[in-house]
Amino acid sequence: MSLQQEIISRLGVQPHINVEAEIRKRVDFLKKHVLDSKTSGLLIAISGGIDSAVAAALCKQATDELTKENGQEYMTLGVFQPYGTQEDIEHSYAVAKAFGLTHTVETNIEDAVNELALETEQGLKDVGQHRHMTPQGKGNIKARTRMVLQYALAFELKLLVVGTDHASEALTGFYTKWGDGAVDITPLSSLNKRQVRQIAAYVGVPQEILDKAPTAGLWEGQTDEGELGVTYEDNSDYLEGKDINPKAKEVLEALYKKTEHKRSPIPGI
């Protein structure tokens, strides 16, 4: 078995999907975990990108169905988490409006991130490095601070924290896992980016979001494809078992090997 075949099998990606069936399967998956955990619903951080928009749509359908079926309210909480002024914050609000989220909060992470960065830079001075944090390092603080706030809200409201991770991100290790703060449940995990886009179009994700370049928003101008050095088209083709450009294949498989620790349980002895 080739490495490509091993990865596809491990991540559970299908070469083709039935969009309606995938939505039903993933909504039922969310409902089961809410009931099994005896929680009151789901929390989804809405960045304004496609992945979180699709996850928000699935969460809202799941909690609406649970409310109807069980005679008590189950909540989908949409969380907006800008760092200072977010130019496209209206896209996050557009997602909430498109899917009828009645519960939303905005938690601005700027002050918390900047304080953590200052403390980190003081720590660097203590070991003889008089410099600012790298943009990548500060970007990671942003991601982790967002997770701290999500879990604080989820604890107080008895919610499960929903991740937007999918197979195209797992392939490259470019997602929230373990040291990044982790999540409770990932309803998109066996889909590649192309398949997430197919579901997005079906459920009615606003067009301005469908047209955006994928980004984690970790620093100004950051895009997923620019950072990783490979397109999501090649990434999705790879996960569907297709032959792709040898250079792109080399990049993807190198990233996969480098980031194995993000897909495996925390090692112990």
Handedness of CA 73, 58, 82, 37 (dihedral sign): positive
- State the residue for tokens 């197919």: 198
Question: What is the rounded CA–CA span in Å between residue 136 and residue 152?
Answer: 25
3-state DSSP call for residue 37?
helix
Question: Would residue 51 show up in a list of annotated catalytic residues for this protein?
Answer: yes
Question: What is the rounded CA–CA span in Å between residue 51 and residue 236?
Answer: 14
Helix (H) / strand (E) element for 170: namely helix 167-172
Question: What is the rounded CA–CA span in Å between residue 265 and residue 256?
Answer: 16
* Cα dihedral 172→178→182→187 (10° resolution): 50
Question: Would residue 106 show up in a list of annotated catalytic residues for this protein?
Answer: no
- Using an 8 Å Cβ cutoff, are 220 and 231 in contact? no
Amino acid at 191: L
Choose, from 36, 65, 119, 169, the residue flagged as catalytic. 169
DSSP state, residue 99: T
3-state DSSP call for residue 44?
strand
Choose, from 22, 28, 36, 51, the residue flagged as catalytic. 51
Let me know how long the chain is.
269
Nearby residues of 228 by Cβ (< 8 Å), 6 or more positions away: 172, 174, 251, 255
* Catalytic residue positions, numbered: 51, 169
